[in-house]
Chains A and B, each alone.
Chain A
Amino acid sequence: MFTLALSDEERLIQDTARRFARDRLLPGLRAHERARGVPRELVGEFAALGLTAGEDLGAFARVLVLEELAAVDAGAALALDAGGLAQPLLDAAGLGAARGRGVVIEDVEGRFHARDGRLAGEHPWVPADEIAVAVVLHPERALIVREGWRLTPIAACGLEAAGASRLVLDDAPIAATLEDPRALGRARAGIRTAVGALLVGAARGTHEYAMRYATERTAFGRPIAHHQALAFLIADLATAVDIARLAVWRAAAALDRGESAEWEGASALAEAAEQALFVGPNAVQILGGHGFMKDHPVEKSMRDIRTLAQMAGGRDEAELAAAALVTERELGFAGRGDRCP
């Protein structure tokens, strides 16, 4: 019979990440944004906790960590996460843990071309100022490069603490190519699930902030949360966050069970993006004029969510992937005693 409980170890991981985010990321929120990164000692401190992408945590524990970090600062979460989204592909290719930041580019528009073991092309935005590895995803292969890029800093909509650059590959030597469909499918599902977890965190953080504000700020003689128009919105935002989280949890659990998880991963990102994009602007709305100002973090979360939802092909690629799988998707329980329907 199904259960939705976290194990003691998972709770510990969650608490550890939550405490780190509150104690170490929150105080420097705007400073990290301005500095386009988190201080090196914080990166080291977080790595010492053993919660980065390079560790063998499993997908489920990872989504717990990413949600907690992103609930405070999704950009910083990327900056702290070492190989980050690229790590599942490095693992699949047997390349081990990244020695620095990694980025993944879903080459939707065909900007990159491989020839004679080298990769050339350019991409308008990656959420990093310095990287150790880049992965370019084509429909049927992943191309991994570990050198041969030029990164030009740019300004981005959100996730500033992660950095932001235009990336150019000048005949970069291809370190590895991943073509096994199953491994590629699982890696993509892992990436989408991780982005989904960041979206859940960002949405939760900004919803909690707006909800607190709404109980303190008064208008027409009562807390604005007690006006039904906002009370209903707050209820819907809370539901949105929970829906997104459950979808992400389900995908992560499927990954950890060794399933292909392509449908679950694509659905998780599509769902998390949709729900977070609903939450982000509405959290600003709840704060009204104050929400638009940099004095509160909700404007940052709104930008972060918009930016996150573009990552790794974003919502569109996730929805297309799900649509490609849907006609074979059985939603019923028949013969599913052991599996997640």
Chain B
Amino acid sequence: MNAADLKKVDEIIDGYRGQEGVLIQLLLDLQSELHWIPREVIDHLSERLRVPTSQIYRIASFYKAINLSPVGRHMIQVCMGTACQVRGAQKVLDYTASRLNIRPEETTPDLAFSLRKVNCLGCCSMGPVLTVDDEYHGGVTLERVKKILKKRS
């Protein structure tokens, strides 16, 4: 981690000074800055907050939204909620995975894409739903998946 990153990490930690129970919020904020939580950040957090590394790992590994390994430039999430499921989400997931040649929860070797299953995005009316970074795509067909991936690779 370079000095600039470290400074940012410290700034984020300072923002929560004096508050109780903020570890999860801190990890989320750090992640939105760094996209994932590297080992050094956990060590640094442990020192600053005086919380054992093991405890931070326990929390970071329990919550799905926290990435403990690097993620791709584009994060693809396929919603596996019930409404999407009955409208063919599994096919969308299988197809996306086979196109990217990775399994769900993995990242392509060139770090271009990460693929993730997500339990419900709350867009149940327009299932199956797939998101690329902040963009939502509803009523996704396999053809659409192909186009979405092509546009970004």
State yes or no: do A and B come from one complex. Answer: no
> Which residues does B use to contact A, with CB under 8 Å?
none
> Which residues does A use to contact B, with CB under 8 Å?
none
